[in-house]
Amino acid sequence: QFEVQRLKSRTCVDEFETINSSIQKIEIQGFEFNPSETIIDVVVNGSIKVLQIGGEDNTGLFHVKMHGAELDIVLMSPQEYDLSLHMNEPTIEDTSNLILSPMPGTLISYAVESGDYVEDGQEICIVEAMKMQNVLRSSRTGIIKKCSVEVGCSLRTDEVVVEFVSDNCNETEK
């Protein structure tokens, strides 16, 4: 595993240096991504390596395979790279103990209440959106801690509908 960064002495984004790695330099010469041609040659420390590149996900993330190893690489323009140095890493919120509304709508009914034990896939509630009733099901086995929204109320996308009791033994009940 290694990180790469653009060589500061170059204005062209075809040469990189690595951070915390024995690999000193990676050169990609004349690379133009064509989805139908996924094999490219890369010069690593002076020797040619063959990479297989998967599709791009519109954020600059490419899935790359080399000698059986797989990794994701983010390609950025020099300006994107310079700006990325000043950005904080995104925080990923743990929502494993929550059931969130997948869309705006109205909460029609609950099939559970606080304290109920539920199985994975069990019906939790019904949300009506665009004149269609959608059943929200449990994504895990556990005990319902709280039903957060009253029946008949409007829901926003990603609004907490139900909260499970945490699996963490140190949690204190509120």
> In what helix (H) or strand (E) does residue 79 lie, and over which residues does it extend?
helix 78-84
Q: Is 145 or 93 the better-scoring residue by pLDDT?
A: 145
Distances (CA, A) of 33 to 22, 125, 153: 27, 46, 49
Q: Are residues 18 and 72 in the same domain?
A: yes
Q: Is 76 or 16 the better-scoring residue by pLDDT?
A: 76
**At 155, is the pLDDT very low, low, confident or very high (cuts 50, 70, 90)?**
very high
DSSP 8-class letter at 87: S
**Which domain CATH number covers 107?**
2.40.50.100
Structure confidence at residue 7 (pLDDT): 39
The verdict on residue 28 lying in a domain is: yes
pLDDT reading at 138 higher than 80: yes
Q: Are residues 51 and 123 in the same domain?
A: no
Structure tokens at 63: 């899935």
Q: Are residues 7 and 61 in the same domain?
A: yes
Length of the chain: 174
Q: Which of these three, 59, 84, 109, is where a domain ends?
A: 84
* Amino acid sitting at position 102: P
Structure confidence at residue 135 (pLDDT): 96
Q: What is the CA radius of gyration of the chain?
A: 24
Residues 77-96: pLDDT tens digits? 778 878 888 888 878 888 99
Q: Are residues 103 and 159 in the same domain?
A: yes
Q: Are residues 20 and 68 in the same domain?
A: yes
Structure confidence at residue 166 (pLDDT): 84
Angle at 134 between CA 132 and CA 135, to 5 degrees: 155
Q: Which of these three, 84, 118, 143, is where a domain ends?
A: 84
Structure tokens at 126: 């019904």
Alpha helices in the chain (DSSP H): 78-84
Residue 134 structural domain: 98-164
Q: Is 11 or 88 the better-scoring residue by pLDDT?
A: 88
Q: How many CB atoms lie within 10 A of CB 80?
A: 12
pLDDT reading at 59 higher than 90: no
The verdict on residue 54 lying in a domain is: yes
> In what helix (H) or strand (E) does residue 61 lie, and over which residues does it extend?
strand 61-66
Q: Which of these three, 54, 84, 114, is where a domain ends?
A: 84
Q: Is 1 or 156 the better-scoring residue by pLDDT?
A: 156
Count of domains forming the chain: 2
Q: Mean pLDDT score of the chain, rounded to an integer?
A: 78
> In what helix (H) or strand (E) does residue 78 lie, and over which residues does it extend?
helix 78-84
Q: Are residues 102 and 76 in the same domain?
A: no
Distances (CA, A) of 7 to 17, 43, 135: 6, 15, 53
